[in-house]
Structure 1
Amino acid sequence: MGSLVQKPLVVFIMGATGTGKSRLSVDIAAEYSGEIINCDKMQVYKGLDIVTNKIQEHEMKGVKHHLLGEFDPNSDFTALDFCNRALMVIEKLVGSGKLPVIVGGSNSFIEALVEDPCFRSKYECRFLWIDVCLPVLFSHVHQRVDLMVDAGLVDEVRAVFDPMADYGRGISKSIGVPELKEYFQAERNKAVDQETARNLLQAAISDIKANTCKLITCQLSKIYRLKEELKWPICRVDATAVFQKQGKEAENAWEEQVLKPCLRKINW
């Protein structure tokens, strides 16, 4: 009998927005000399780095990222586009002995790739789902939106605001863009006083927080479907403790309760 040929491994980092997927992907890629393929359907576009919460260069720790901020923000980058691009990158990485690490919250992109016959015939998958208790996660994303506003989110969107934009296409679909439309229209038309403008802005920020929480619920529903209905062997890792601690204790929780279990699961 001939020995079975082991398929090359591809790692998927899944989870809702705000759970630490980017950090985990960098830690894993750094451990295994891998490279990262972004599968967040808004982060594939150029621009709006704050709104789409793209990983910052210092957070990459020298790990190369693919399909991140590469495409025309007014184009419509589809799941099929992602599959075609990702397959090319994966083949190149595997050919050079590197571990492909795919990360992002767009589970429709992930599903399209994993269910692609070409992909399934060539590669073995590890699915790591980093999860956080919802009340803790909701509180965290509310704080994160405030930090994004402090970092310049409103000015970033204002710079590209188009009252005639198609909010169903390209990067304009990003949470944080359509919510600000009414505020910018009032600001541009000078149709309201300062207090009303402030109220419109606060309402927009509240809507961004609420819509982010809705997105989280949707993302989790899709992960449960992939796990329960399609029977994907998804390994859930609970990162709640990391978000409940601070400083050194949070770092220790990340190392012991998130990173080490994930590295054991990959065992590359």
Structure 2
Amino acid sequence: MNIVSLSVCQQVPPLVNFQTALAMEPFFRHPPKDKAVVILGATGTGKSRLAIDLATSFPPAEIVNSDKMQVYRGLDITTNKVTEEECRGVQHHLLGIADPNSNFTAVDFTRHASSAIDSIVRRDRLPIIAGGSNSYIEALIEDDAAFRLKYECFFLWVDVSLPVLDSFLSKRVDRMIKAGQVDEVRQFFDPAGDYTTGIRRAIGVPEFDEFLRTEATADEGTKKRLLEAAIAKIKANNCSLARRQIQKIHRLYNMWKRNAYRLDATEVFTKSGDDAEELWETHVLAKSQRIVRKFLHNDGPMVPPASAMSSVPLYPQAKQVAMATASH
């Protein structure tokens, strides 16, 4: 019988001992990611205002627009672009940059937004992404692997109950009409224009088509009727848009909820004047500031237990959206 040498059975020492491995471990860790804040919400819920409030709270910060209509030049009233005064000196990117007749796609947005965010971070500033086009945000964060490797995002969702939001959107249309929306769209009107591409897709443009086509020849009664019908359609379309946006936000929230926080701003929209301002400061802005501060400084969990997140249940709102959409 052949005798196997015991040396063959001896354990081969590791190439790197345990202490050396521990010392080398940091070299195998991924570098920390840069951070970005993303503000979600249906049309009219105050996303732009919150973005600017946070940008002035955490200077230096800059805002990247993710609204697919505000990215086009022109129709500032119709697309509800922030004014220079409302910007309060905060630099905005991707606002009014695209040709109004072009088709600025989610791929285009991802390319331009990534470039803008990279530029903001290189200058040691905080990027805040805000806008109502959730397909743009999803394309940037879910479809762009390079972006995910570089950035960690935290999501703030500004939510308002549908009945209250519907009332606000109706009043907002009235304010836009008073501010000169009809004249703005009239100057942009093209009888041969295509309402399926570019800025002409924006709510508040195609609804005026029949009125603008006939106003030169129609009597006053007919013009009044067509104008009122156009305004009513704009209001209905804004409410329908809000429902579609909320449905998509619920889906995205479920994907990103470990790094997301829902802010219930309903009570703010039921008040006016100083009362509304005070509620915005305490119910929306102050909470957002605390959460973003923790996110930026890794100071404990950003998202509190679900029971502390909001006095308004999350999933009944989703059911409310589905029912309202079905009946709309």
Match of 1:20 in 2: 46
1:38 paired residue among 44, 53, 65: 65
Letter in 2 for 1:105: G
CA distance in 1, matches of 2:124, 2:159: 30
| TM-score with structure 1 setting the length | 0.96
Match of 2:185 in 1: 157
Determine helix, strand or coil for the equivalent of 2:290: helix
Deviation at 1:95, TM superposition (A): 0.8
Is structure 2 residue 83 aligned with structure 1 residue 56? yes
Letter in 1 for 2:284: V
Return structure 1 stretches of 4+ with deviation > 3 angstroms: 229-233
Structure 2 stretches of 5 or more lacking a match?
1-24, 297-328
CA distance in 2, matches of 1:86, 1:5: 22
Q: Which shows bigger deviation, 55-64 or 258-267?
A: 258-267
Match of 1:257 in 2: 283
Q: Of the two structures, which has the highest relative contact order with CA contacts closer than 8 Å and spacing of 6 or more?
A: 1
When Rg is computed on C-alpha atoms for both structures, the one with the higher figure is 2
Counting aligned pairs with the same residue, the percent is 53
Letter in 1 for 2:155: F
CA distance in 2, matches of 1:49, 1:158: 13
Is structure 2 residue 122 aligned with structure 1 residue 86? no
Is structure 2 residue 209 aligned with structure 1 residue 219? no
Deviation at 1:252, TM superposition (A): 1.2
Is structure 2 residue 74 aligned with structure 1 residue 47? yes
- Contact 1:50-1:156 within 8 A present in 2 as well: yes
Deviation at 1:25, TM superposition (A): 0.2
CA distance in 2, matches of 1:136, 1:51: 21
Is structure 2 residue 175 aligned with structure 1 residue 147? yes
- Contact 1:75-1:170 within 8 A present in 2 as well: yes
Please give the per-residue CA displacement for 1:153-202, whole angstroms capped at 9, x wherever unaligned.
000000110111110000000000000000011113x1x31101100000
Determine helix, strand or coil for the equivalent of 1:219: helix
Root-mean-square deviation (CA, aligned residues, Å) is 1.3
Match of 1:169 in 2: 197
Letter in 2 for 1:57: E
Q: How does 1:235-246 map to 2 (within 5 A)?
A: 235-246=261-272
CA distance in 2, matches of 1:123, 1:249: 38
User: Measured at CA, do residues 230 and 34 of structure 1 come closer, stay the same or move farther in structure 2, by a change above 3 Å?
Assistant: closer
The count of residues paired between Structure 1 and Structure 2 equals: 266
1:76 paired residue among 96, 103, 117: 103
- Contact 1:226-1:232 within 8 A present in 2 as well: no
Q: How does 1:110-125 map to 2 (within 5 A)?
A: 110-115=137-142, 116-125=144-153
CA distance in 2, matches of 1:15, 1:193: 42
Is structure 2 residue 226 aligned with structure 1 residue 184? no
CA distance in 2, matches of 1:5, 1:51: 44
Q: Which shows bigger deviation, 144-153 or 245-254?
A: 245-254
| TM-score with structure 2 setting the length | 0.79
